[in-house]
Amino acid sequence: MDPMMLTHSQRKDGVREDPGRKRKRLRTLLALRNPVILASGPLGRTATGLIRFGRFAGAVVGKSTTFLPRTGNPHPRLISLGDYGLMNWENLPNLGYERFAEELRLAKEQCSCPVIASLGPSADLDQLKTIATTLEKAGADALELDFKWGFDPQTGNTGNDISSSGVFDQGVISATILGLKDVVSVPIIAKLVAFAGDIVEHAQAAEAAGAGAITAINTIFPAMKIDIHRQTPALSSVFGGLSGKSILPLAVAAVYRIYEAVNIPIIGCGGVTSGEDALELNMAGADGVEMCTTAMVEGPSAFRRVNDEIDNLLQELGFASAEECCGLAHR
Ligand SMILES: Cc1cc2nc3c(=O)[nH]c(=O)nc-3n(C[C@H](O)[C@H](O)[C@H](O)COP(=O)(O)O)c2cc1C
């Protein structure tokens, strides 16, 4: 017998046919208007952006917030790679949590979909607790934690011992989630990166610590572009994170692997440009998807287009909802 076949069927037995395994659904955490969510990024820095995209998206996620305001890296810090997507190392330019809380309050008044706040990576749990409680009070329907740790833009390193951000492993994920669960009651979503340790172990640690859901994945690091006319790296930071179309297969693989290891819902993120891309992530195990690059390139109408494409494909394939497709590729 083909050893690959054996591995696959053994995994199938262990996962799908276990009657005691009850998968939680994203709808029990968030009343999504549709399955396509605005991912954290520049479009969600202010109320204006959140409201603009909140007219079409299933939910919106704010730009990751830090304790103090940040101006981010010098330009160029975001470049287009055409059909491949985008590359950026903006380095978290944001208003700081106090100003962002005001934006969130305004957005909540006008958005008819859930508004999720994102917390930027930090080793200071007390600061994270302050940010989390403030954003919960301002009306956040959930908190997404950006665990974009372990990236060193100076060296391109994705190892675990990074002086700028401390040691990153599943212990950091557990301690952060456990600490925040002590002070907030809204769902906590752990947003994970694909190649800074084992994303499956990170997802398991997040679930064990009480995360309500996982978002997978963030940008792929390190990526690089050379400006051949100036013979220099194109980004001021040299290395950056890759997003958009080219990372979809990495996101699909990450979601597929995580689905087999946890029971909490997964939000698939990375490279969604069409309804077909979204359904791939659903079938890999996602209960909803997030989109950043396509929203930046195309604007709010991207959400209407992708949702229409999802509906047409569901009809063609004979499914009633995207949720019904969640995990089907594991049969
Ligand atoms: C310019 C830019 C800024 C981003 N900023 C954040 C951020 O602040 N927090 C975060 O969790 N993800 C951030 N992301 C990552 C996106 O939310 C998303 O995970 C990633 O881009 C992959 O999805 P996509 O291919 O749909 O863009 C950013 C992405 C881009 C392109």
pLDDT digits (tens, 9 = 90+) for 266-323: 999 999 999 999 999 999 999 999 999 999 999 999 999 999 999 999 999 999 999 9
Provide CB contacts within 8 A for 83, sequence distance 6+: 245
Q: Which domain holds residue 123?
A: 23-72+89-222+243-330
CA distance 142 to 114: 8
Decide if 79 is inside a domain: no
261-264 CB contacts, 8 Å cutoff, 24+ apart: 261/200, 261/203, 261/204, 262/203, 262/204, 262/206, 262/207, 262/214, 263/21, 263/22, 263/23, 263/24, 263/207, 264/24, 264/206, 264/207, 264/211, 264/212, 264/213, 264/214
| Per-residue pLDDT tens over the stretch 201-260 | 999 999 999 999 999 999 999 999 999 999 999 999 999 999 999 999 999 999 999 999
Average pLDDT in the 55-62 region?
A: 98
Helix (H) or strand (E) holding 199: helix 199-209
Cβ atoms of 125 and 176 within 8 Å: the answer is yes
Cβ atoms of 60 and 111 within 8 Å: the answer is yes
- Of the pLDDT bands very low, low, confident and very high (cuts 50, 70, 90), residue 169 is confident
Q: CATH number, domain at 260?
A: 3.20.20.70
Decide if 82 is inside a domain: no
Whether residue 288 has its Cβ less than 6 Å from ligand 1: no
**pLDDT at residue 168, as a whole number:** 75
Q: What is the DSSP letter of 141?
A: S
Cβ atoms of 256 and 283 within 8 Å: the answer is no
**pLDDT at residue 160, as a whole number:** 54
Decide if 77 is inside a domain: no
User: Which residue stretches of 25-75 are H helix?
Assistant: 47-54
Average pLDDT in the 65-87 region?
A: 96
**pLDDT at residue 167, as a whole number:** 67
**pLDDT at residue 17, as a whole number:** 41
Q: How far is the CA of 109 from the centre of ligand 1 (A)?
A: 25
Whether residue 235 has its Cβ less than 6 Å from ligand 1: no
Whether residue 242 has its Cβ less than 6 Å from ligand 1: no
Decide if 18 is inside a domain: no
Whether residue 291 has its Cβ less than 6 Å from ligand 1: yes
Whether residue 266 has its Cβ less than 6 Å from ligand 1: no
Decide if 146 is inside a domain: yes
**pLDDT at residue 159, as a whole number:** 59
Q: Pick the residue with more confidence: 206 or 19?
A: 206
Report the share of the chain in percent with pLDDT over 70.
90
Average pLDDT in the 100-123 region?
A: 96
Whether residue 86 has its Cβ less than 6 Å from ligand 1: yes
Q: How far is the CA of 233 from the centre of ligand 1 (A)?
A: 21
* Atom number, ligand 1, closest to the C-alpha of residue 86: 31
According to DSSP, the residues that pair with 232 across neighbouring strands are 227
Cβ atoms of 111 and 54 within 8 Å: the answer is yes
Nearest to 177 by CA among 142, 141, 149, 205: 205
Domain count, the chain: 1
**pLDDT at residue 166, as a whole number:** 58
What is the rounded average pLDDT for all residues in the chain?
91
Decide if 84 is inside a domain: no
Decide if 27 is inside a domain: yes
Decide if 234 is inside a domain: no
* Atom number, ligand 1, closest to the C-alpha of residue 244: 25
Dihedral sign, Cα of residue 256, residue 260, residue 261, residue 267: positive
**pLDDT at residue 10, as a whole number:** 36
Task: Look at residue 172 and give its three-state secondary structure.
Answer: helix
Residue nearest to atom 8 of ligand 1 (CA): 64
Residue nearest to atom 3 of ligand 1 (CA): 41
